[in-house]
Amino acid sequence: MKLKYLLLSILVSGSSLISCKKGYLDIAPMNVVQDKDLFSNEAGMAVYLSRIYSQMPFEDFKYSPARQFFDDWLVTPGANEGASLGRDAGTAMTSEGWARNGPYWGRAFNLLRDANYLIENLPDYKSNFSQEIYNHYIGEGYFARAMVFYALAKRYGGMPLVTSVLKYPEVSADKLEIPRSTEEETWNQVLSDFDSAIIMLSPVSPKRGYANKYVAYGFKSEAMLFAGSVAKYNKITGLGDKTGVRVIGFDPGTAAAASKKYFREAYNAAREIMKSGKYSLYKKKWSANDKEAQYQNMVDMFFDISSPENIYIKEYQYPDLTHGFDAYNIPRQLMGGNGYSAGNCPTLDFVELFDGFAKNPDSTIKVFDNKGTYTMFDNVTDIFANAEPRLRANVILPGDVFKGEVMEVRRGIFTGDASNGISPLRVVNGSAPNYTVSGPSNYNEVDAYKAVGAFAGKKSLFLSQNGTTHETVVLPNGTTMNGGGKNGPFTSDATCAMTGFMIRKWLNPNMPQTLVLEARSEQFFILMRYAEILLNAAEAASELMLAGEAAPAGDDFQQIAFDAIKDIRERAGAYPLTAPLTGQPGLEIIRKERRKELGFENKTLWDIRRWRTQHSDVLNGFTQSDGAYYKGLYPFYSSTTGKYFFDAGLDEGRRRFRLTEQEYYLLIPDGEVAKSPVIDQQPGR
Amino acid sequence: MKKIFYKILVCLSATIIFFSCKKDNYPEPQETLKGSVVDAATGEPVLTDQGSEGTRIRLRELSWKETTVPDNFDFYCMKEGIFQDTKIFQGHYNVRIDGAFIPLLRKNIQGDTLADETKYVDIKGVTEVEFKVQPFLKVEWIGEPTVSNGKITATVKITRAVSPADFKEKIEPMGDYSDDMLNVTDLRLFVSEVPFVGYRDWDNRYSTESDYGGNSFDAQLGQPVTLTTQGTIPAGRTVFIRAAARINYATENIKRHNYNEAKRIDLP
Query: How far apart (Å, rounded) are the C-alpha atoms in residues A237 and A444?
Result: 47
Say yes or no: A660 contacts chain B, CB-CB below 8 A.
yes
For B179-213, the pLDDT digits (tens) are 999 999 999 999 999 999 999 899 989 999 999 99
- Nearest chain B residue to A251 by CA distance is B109
Is the pLDDT score of A569 beyond 90? yes
Query: How far apart (Å, rounded) are the C-alpha atoms in residues B202 and A508?
Result: 44
**Cα atoms in the 13 Å half-sphere on the side-chain side of B79:** 20
User: Residue B83 forms beta bridges with which residues?
Assistant: B35
Query: How far apart (Å, rounded) are the C-alpha atoms in residues A53 and B192?
Result: 51
For A620-677, the pLDDT digits (tens) are 999 999 999 999 999 999 999 999 999 999 999 999 999 999 999 999 999 999 889 9
Model confidence band, residue A8 (pLDDT cutoffs 50, 70, 90): low
Query: How far apart (Å, rounded) are the C-alpha atoms in residues A528 and A241?
Result: 38
Average pLDDT for residues A589-608, to the nearest whole number?
98
The pLDDT value given to residue A7: 60
Q: What ipTM was estimated for this complex?
A: 0.85
Q: Which residues of A touch B72 (CB under 8 A)?
A: 241, 681
Is B54 strand, coil or helix?
A: coil
- Residue B33 host element (H or E): strand B31-39
Q: With contact defined as beta carbons under 8 Å apart, do B151 and B229 qualify? A: yes
β-sheet with A643-650: strand ranges across? A461-463, A412-414, A631-638, A643-650
Query: How far apart (Å, rounded) are the C-alpha atoms in residues A6 and B183?
Result: 80
Query: How far apart (Å, rounded) are the C-alpha atoms in residues A609 and A605?
Result: 6
**Residue to test with chain B: of A248, A438, A625, A668, most B Cβ within 10 A:** A438
Query: How far apart (Å, rounded) are the C-alpha atoms in residues A227 and A224?
Result: 5
Give the minimum alpha-carbon distance from B102 to chain A in angstroms, rounded to a whole number. Answer: 15
- Nearest chain A residue to B188 by CA distance is A626
Contact A681 B72 (CB under 8 A): yes
Give ∠ CA A178-A183-A187 in degrees, rounded to 5. 100
Say yes or no: A7 contacts chain B, CB-CB below 8 A.
yes
Average pLDDT for residues B132-145, to the nearest whole number?
97
Contact B253 A626 (CB under 8 A): no
Query: How far apart (Å, rounded) are the C-alpha atoms in residues A7 and A32?
Result: 31
Of A7, A242, A431, the CB nearest to B8: A7
Across chain A, mean pLDDT equals: 94
The pLDDT value given to residue A470: 96
* Nearest Cα residue to A69 out of A525, A557, A592, A475: A525
Is the pLDDT score of A382 beyond 90? yes
B 37-66 near A (Cβ less than 8 A): 52-53
Q: How many percent of chain A have pLDDT more than 90?
A: 92
Residues 6+ positions from A605 with CB-CB distance below 8 Å: A65, A80, A81, A93
Q: Are strands A643-650 and A461-463 parallel, antiparallel or unpaired?
A: unpaired
Backbone angles phi, psi at B38, to 5 degrees: -125, 155
For B71-92, the pLDDT digits (tens) are 899 999 999 999 999 999 999 9
Of B175, B176, B206, the CB nearest to A438: B206
Say yes or no: A123 contacts chain B, CB-CB below 8 A.
no
Is the pLDDT score of B25 beyond 80? no
Query: How far apart (Å, rounded) are the C-alpha atoms in residues A117 and B121?
Result: 49
Give the minimum alpha-carbon distance from A7 to chain B in angstroms, rounded to a whole number. Answer: 9
Query: How far apart (Å, rounded) are the C-alpha atoms in residues B134 and B120?
Result: 19
For A281-299, the pLDDT digits (tens) are 999 999 999 999 999 999 9
For chain A, first and last CA: distance in Å?
58
Contact B204 A684 (CB under 8 A): no
Q: How many percent of chain B have pLDDT more than 70?
A: 91
The pLDDT value given to residue A537: 98
* Nearest Cα residue to A86 out of A519, A503, A400, A399: A503
The per-residue b/e assignment along A530-569, b for 16 or more CB within 10 angstroms, e otherwise, is: bbbbbbbbbbbbbbbbeeebebeeebebbebbbbbbbbbb
Say yes or no: A670 contacts chain B, CB-CB below 8 A.
no
B105 by Cβ neighbours in 10 Å (0-12 / 13-18 / 19+) ranks as middle
* Secondary structure letter of residue A368 according to DSSP: B
Q: How many percent of chain A have pLDDT more than 70?
A: 96
A32 by Cβ neighbours in 10 Å (0-12 / 13-18 / 19+) ranks as exposed
Chain centroid to Cα A256, Å, comes to 29
User: What's the maximum distance between 2 C-alpha atoms anywhere in chain A?
Assistant: 97
Of A7, A626, A684, the CB nearest to B252: A684
Contact A622 B204 (CB under 8 A): yes
Of B69, B205, B253, the CB nearest to A677: B69
Query: How far apart (Å, rounded) are the C-alpha atoms in residues A543 and A535?
Result: 12
A585 by Cβ neighbours in 10 Å (0-12 / 13-18 / 19+) ranks as exposed
Say yes or no: B254 contacts chain A, CB-CB below 8 A.
yes
Is the pLDDT score of B13 beyond 80? no
Query: How far apart (Å, rounded) are the C-alpha atoms in residues A682 and A668?
Result: 7
Give ∠ CA A244-A246-A252 in degrees, rounded to 5. 130
Q: With contact defined as beta carbons under 8 Å apart, do A63 and A602 qualify? A: yes
For A97-146, the pLDDT digits (tens) are 999 999 999 999 999 999 999 999 999 999 999 999 999 999 999 999 99
Query: How far apart (Å, rounded) are the C-alpha atoms in residues B141 and B263?
Result: 10
